[in-house]
A and B are shown apart, each in its own frame.
Chain A
Amino acid sequence: MSANPCPRLFEAEAMRDGRLTGPERTSFERHVAMCPACSREVQALEALAESLRASPPDHTAADELHVRRERTQLLAAFDRALLGPRRSRIVGHRLRWPAAVAALVVAILFLPRVRRSAEAPAHASSAVVHADSTAVWAERMVGNCENVVLERGALWIHVDHSSREGRLLVVLPDGELEDIGTTFTVSADDGHTTRVAVQEGHVVLRLRGQAAIALGPGDTWIPDSRPVASARASVVPSADPAPTTRIDRGERRTPSPRSSASSAASPASDPSVDFRAAMAALDVGDNHQAGAAFADFLGKHPRDPRSEDAAYLRVIALQRSGDSAGMKQAAIEYLRSYPAGFRQADVEALSR
């Protein structure tokens, strides 16, 4: 290896790091123009930086479902932090291990399937938006997420998730609405969300300062200050933060008279949508609903590859909801159906 061809070579890095300023920098810049060795060094440093800046393939990149779950957990953690450390500690201790186990299990068992599906021919998610005459709205991409920004007016949105795990977020003046494979209508006016009605599938409504609300098929949400006589709001507040507005529960439902869990039992019931809906309920802390939704999933899709996950997560959901008898029964059913299941040891402990 030859010695440095120029005694000022070290200044190339010094300049790059901001250590050369004023006359020293000017002097070196003039020198670089005349010195091939220093010029090469400056270029080599820039090339090195350029190779680092070149976006690397992220081999640890998470799938869309995982990202959505991470996002939901982040917002829930933020909610808990706002509500005060004492309660969050209690809830945290109680839920940390089941939540960690459930997240781990789902990550291990569900991620490979999602990745496999990603290897199939690429499908674009498809969202159809109908807007009324007063609507002021736009769409934008934020990362991989399709955002529909609604300022005012009403939108009817249908998202087809049959091709892939797509994601669509409606950004509202006072919060956001996350689609989980669905057809729904959302309205906003005067800086506030005024109505959300779900025809198919599920959505999660997050309004600033309020707990997340899961809405299922046939549910209509109308804010507290608005008339609600004609609406049936099968709205589910999050288990963690108490909502700051009253949740009204009407009795009229369109188009189906069945409950959220059973209404999905239509002939066109999609296992992926049902599973996502159950996961969404678990994510937002609606553990009763999650337990029912996982049971519903198992009843409708007993041969689905996710049925063991669903059976296990049903146990977790019932445990979180405090339903000990239900949890034990669900644990016994899991062990009966999956005597050599992946979570056999965990579930056995819960069944006693």
Chain B
Amino acid sequence: MITRHATIESLVRGNVPQTPDPDILRELAGGEIGALGELYDRYREPVRRFVARATSDADDVDDLVHATFLAAASSAGRYDGRPSCRPWLIGIAAQLLRRRRQSFGRFLVVLSSLRAIRATAADPRRALQARSEVERALVRISEPKRITLLMAEVEGLSCAEIAAALGVPIGTVWTRLHAARRELRRALQEGEKS
């Protein structure tokens, strides 16, 4: 909370409107660092939440968020001008998640073995139990299906946009969505029974 003490009556104070996303991206494309700071402040939370939910590996969430904003900065000049750039950022994050899965598959096997050692110190079941029923069901779905479902149902991207972001045919998006919903509903039903 900010307490104001205006010393002079003629103080002019108005609500400065939030800079539109396309303007921020235009400034960012011009190399203005303040624009990146503003973009980060505005969308760090939703991007981070998406990445954290999309990946089952919580350890590199920060790296992926960092990479998402840097990738956004480097491709800001190609932004299509939509009023909100949130879906665009989510698309970038999804691409990075996909690339990470492809490029670091073997590396993740090594990391997984290291995580097994660390698990003795902090029992992951506690964190899992703390999650909601939906979150618990969500982590049981494979990462490609989970990402597709979150992009469609949470971020509101169309199937065509998801297909473009993930570099897969639109039919694959439909298939993944159907399978993800089926698995999620089944997991929720099993959760209700137990």
Contact = CB atoms under 8 A, between A and B. Distances in A.
How extensive is the interface on chain B, given as a class? 35 or more
B98 interface: no
Contacts of B65: 70
B31 interface: yes
Contacts of B52: 58, 60
A49 to B, nearest CB: 4
Contact of A59 (B6, B74, B130): B130
Interface in A147-205: 147-149, 151, 169, 171-172, 174-176
A147 B132 CA distance: 33
A260 B61 CA distance: 36
A149 B177 CA distance: 43
Interface in A96-154: 124-133, 135-140, 142-143, 145-149, 151
Interface residues of A, number: 65
Contacts of B116: none
Interface stretch (B80-88, B106-114, B178-186): B178-186
A78 B41 contact: no
Interface string B32-46: 111111101110110
B189 to A, nearest CB: 11
A82 B44 contact: no
A73 B69 CA distance: 11
Given A127-B3, A145-B41, A60 B58 contact: yes
A200 B11 CA distance: 26
A127 B2 CA distance: 5
Given A58-B49, A82-B31, A128-B5, A77 B150 contact: no
Interface string A190-224: 00000000000000001111000000000000000
A52 B33 contact: no
Interface stretch (A13-21, A287-295, A301-309): A13-21
A45 B181 contact: yes
Contacts of A175: 33-34
